[in-house]
Structure 1
């Protein structure tokens, strides 16, 4: 069962989107230097269909995207929840921030509009850093994934 610690409306996680970011717990990745080590614990509130739809019912008019932050312990369930969100709120885009290097087997990219892949490597930095190993992809028709990481770079 997917659980979440908290959520917030954010503006920097997905370019050009006002995003409801839901921080999922039980992270198995254990990245050194992780900025959210509290998300490693198997705690928080269950995020089932009803809980997700209740959150979206409160925020869907104020956001353009819902992004699942984590969930690597149960990637198929995260993808399923993304599909639930899309069915209930067709105009809402969906995203997943994963610490995995690639999409797990059995998880279709089409469940999402955006996917961030890559473990946290402190010396490589976040998506805004030129040397980051992390990538943000825009998912297109047929599950094609276009790297849009450069959208995080500020022009001088």
Structure 2
């Protein structure tokens, strides 16, 4: 079962998108220096199809993308929820922020429009840092993963 702590409409998580970012709990990664340790607990509101539909009924016209922030404890369920968004709200794009270094076995990249991979490593910095280990990919229709991490950095 997938649960979430909270959500927000954000502009920085996916470049060029107005994103409904849903903070998923029960994170198994335990990254040293984690900036959201409260998301490690298996707590919060259940994020099932009905709850997702309710969020999108409320915010779907205000956003262009839905991003699941976490969900590494249940990647197949996150991919399935992305499918719900795509089927019922086809104008919206979907994203997944995973703390894993690789896409889990059995998860097709094309289940999402964007995927962020890489755990938090404080000394390497966030996606805006040129030294980050994290990568954001735009997913093509064939499942190709284009690294678009550079879009987070300001050009001189």
Q: TM-score band (shorter)?
A: over 0.9
Which residue of 2 is the match for residue 18 of structure 1?
Answer: 18
C-alpha offsets along residues 51-108 of structure 1, whole Å, 9 cap, x if unaligned? 0011011111000000000000000000000000000000100000000001100111
Distance in 2 (CA, whole Å) between partners of 1:148 and 1:34 is: 23
**5 Å matches for 1:1-156?**
1-156=1-156
TM-score normalised according to structure 2 size = 0.99
Give TM-score, length-normalised by structure 1.
0.99
Alignment partner of 2:76: what SS? Answer: helix
In the aligned structure 1, how far is the partner of 2:110 from the partner of 2:49? 19
* Structure 1: runs of 5 or more not aligned: none
C-alpha displacement of 1:142 = 1.1
What is the alpha-carbon distance in structure 1 between the residues aligned to residue 144 and residue 53 of structure 2? 27
Helix, strand or coil for the counterpart of 2:124? coil
Provide the aligned C-alpha RMSD in A: 0.4
5+ residue gaps, structure 2: none
Deviation for aligned residue 1:151: 0.2
State the aligned residue count: 156
The list of structure 1 runs, each at least 4 consecutive aligned residues, that deviate by more than 3 angstroms after superposition, is none
